[in-house]
Amino acid sequence: MNHRKKKAAAPSPQPAPVIALPDSLQLTLEPDARINVTIATEEQPARPLNPRLVRLILFVAAACFVWLALYLKYLQPRTHSAPVALSGSTLVAIVSHPAYIAFGDIAELDLSVTNRGNEPFTGQITLLFQGNIPIQPFPAENTTMKLEPLAAGASATQRIRFSLGQNTRWFLREALRTELRAASATQQFRASIAEPILVAAIPYPRTTHDRLLNSSLSAAVVLLLWEVIRKRFFGWEAKG
């Protein structure tokens, strides 16, 4: 009978033992010797986020978003009207103003007049506001530009500063329209500006923006927020 020899199963490799060595231990190895070293470190559990810090970050992000939205809508845009010709005269006017004005803020409107005729124009041109909201110019006579005279092909520009005379209703769409009236020694001319001046839905956006950008106030707010974050969220205390 043929007896088949059974092959012995190869022993499975055993994991090398982990030996903790003191810092001062020194090992001397023979040439061409090999040694396997496994360093075991204690895993640090992940620290959960502080819920107060998360709420603070969300609040600051929301405040910055609201500020940016108000800035882009009510403060940054500016409207330039199309050139308006005063019928019967050689004058052409362009009105430039913020896209929105708000109660409590001072608005600035630029009136530019060009004489496209061949003769000088002597007279005056007045900007009139139309609507139910009273306007307070600074001062009142600034709404009239005197042309004494305006040479042929020349231009003149005047800035008119004004504010709303009464508080407007929140989140309701209101607008102001403007009209130009020019007069010479013998004639009078008038024209309406097609583009209205929209009234902001909230009061004091520019005043609030300017105060927030004040350097001393901004520094005080940042310092206060840092103190709150340092003590309440990180637990850091000032060292004496």
Chain segment 147-157, per-residue pLDDT in tens? 989 999 999 99
Asked if the structure places residue 60 within a domain, the reply is no
C-beta of residue 101 within 8 angstroms of C-beta of residue 77: no
Asked if the structure places residue 9 within a domain, the reply is no
Going by C-beta distance under 8 Å and a sequence separation of 6 or more, which residues neighbour residue 149?
A: 120, 121, 122
Asked if the structure places residue 220 within a domain, the reply is yes
34 vs 94, higher pLDDT: 94
| pLDDT for 239 | 47
Prediction pTM value: 0.62
| pLDDT for 238 | 47
* Percent share of the chain, pLDDT over 70: 72
Structure tokens at 185: 């020694």
Evaluate if residue 104 carries a pLDDT over 90.
Answer: no
- Regarding whether 213 and 132 lie in a shared domain, the answer is no
201 conformational bin, left if phi > 0, alpha if psi -120 to 50, beta if neither: alpha
| pLDDT for 15 | 54
27 vs 149, higher pLDDT: 149
Asked if the structure places residue 225 within a domain, the reply is yes
C-beta of residue 107 within 8 angstroms of C-beta of residue 163: yes
- Regarding whether 83 and 198 lie in a shared domain, the answer is yes
Q: Return the DSSP state at 47.
A: P
- Regarding whether 211 and 99 lie in a shared domain, the answer is no
- Regarding whether 208 and 175 lie in a shared domain, the answer is no
Asked if the structure places residue 71 within a domain, the reply is no
| pLDDT for 46 | 65
228 vs 3, higher pLDDT: 228
C-beta of residue 205 within 8 angstroms of C-beta of residue 70: yes
The number of folded domains in the chain is 2
Asked if the structure places residue 170 within a domain, the reply is yes
- Regarding whether 198 and 122 lie in a shared domain, the answer is yes
The band of 75, judged by pLDDT with boundaries at 50, 70 and 90, is confident
Evaluate if residue 18 carries a pLDDT over 70.
Answer: no
Asked if the structure places residue 8 within a domain, the reply is no
Q: Which domain holds residue 162?
A: 77-202
Asked if the structure places residue 16 within a domain, the reply is no
- Regarding whether 184 and 120 lie in a shared domain, the answer is yes
